[in-house]
């Protein structure tokens, strides 16, 4: 059984479009995260939710809007996509909010043309 | 703020060679330290962790010791295999509402 799953795995779209990425975890964790990995493999946190509440919101354009309908799901909606949004987006989850192991999904490879 | 510095890659080794990937950190308090591994085309997986000074994390032949005096958490393996080729990330996390801070990643290439 997949612990952290993301859909879609690949996303190719045109500049200016709006797209969503979905994440689900079946680990019973309270905390979920979105990370962005650029072409040089640098990994940076974007958002974190704990029990459906936003606890970390890094300096991310407001075109990016996370939504957590319940503890097991954290979706990422991106408006007006730009070329620079091309990256791999990883969802992760953990049991708590500090020091615990984070479990990562397989990633969504977004390419904006 | 918290930060992690790890050696630039790629690190290129022959099978059965000894591996060291250096990692140093800057943090307040007593962070937890992690090594994650990313195989080609996949997400990150926890390789090992240590939560307090002098703890040694180990898994799959890899080891790292939490050294508070040198603020380091170097990754080592005595004999690498081709299947170890991946990108390795050192990371730290504080307590409370603390985010996981990653190093820039070190690519390891092991040839037969």
Nearest to B19 by CA among B72, B70, B62, B67: B62
- Under the banding of pLDDT at 50, 70 and 90, the label for residue A56 is confident
- Does pLDDT of A53 surpass 90? no
**Cβ-based contacts under 8 A for chains A and B:** 59
CA proximity to A105, closest of A93, A87, A91, A94: A91
Region A62-81: mean pLDDT is: 94
Q: What percent of chain A has pLDDT over 70?
A: 96
CA nearest to A83, candidates A8, A6, A17: A17
Please answer yes or no on whether B38 and A99 come within 8 Å at the CB atom: no
Residue from A42, A53, A91, A98 to probe the interface with B (highest B Cβ count within 10 Å): A98
> For residue A100, what pLDDT band results from cuts at 50, 70 and 90?
confident
pLDDT digits (tens, 9 = 90+) for B45-94: 999 999 999 999 999 999 999 999 999 999 999 999 999 999 999 999 87
Judge contact between A7 and A107, C-beta under 8 A: no
């Amino acid at each position: 059984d997949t612990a952290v799953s993301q859909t879609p795995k690949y996303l190719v779209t045109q500049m200016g479009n709006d797209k969503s990425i979905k994440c689900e975890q079946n680990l019973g964790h309270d905390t979920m995260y979105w990370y962005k990995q650029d072409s040089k493999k640098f990994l940076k946190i974007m958002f974190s939710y704990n029990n459906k509440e936003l606890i970390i919101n890094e300096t991310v354009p407001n075109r990016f809007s996370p939504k957590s309908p319940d503890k097991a799901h954290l979706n990422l909606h991106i408006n007006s996509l730009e070329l620079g949004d091309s990256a791999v987006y990883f969802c992760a989850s953990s049991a708590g909010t500090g020091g615990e192991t984070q479990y990562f999904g397989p990633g969504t490879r977004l390419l904006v043309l | 703020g918290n930060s992690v510095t790890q050696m630039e890659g790629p690190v290129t080794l022959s099978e059965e060679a000894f591996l060291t990937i250096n990692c140093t950190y800057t943090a307040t308090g007593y962070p937890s330290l992690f090594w994650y591994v990313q195989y080609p085309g996949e997400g990150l997986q926890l390789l090992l962790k240590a939560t307090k000074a002098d703890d040694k994390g180990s898994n799959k032949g890899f080891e790292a010791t939490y050294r508070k005096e040198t603020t380091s958490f170097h990754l080592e393996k005595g004999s690498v295999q081709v299947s170890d080729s991946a990108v390795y990330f050192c990371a730290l996390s504080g307590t409370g509402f603390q985010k996981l801070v990653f190093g820039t990643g070190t690519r390891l290439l092991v040839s037969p």
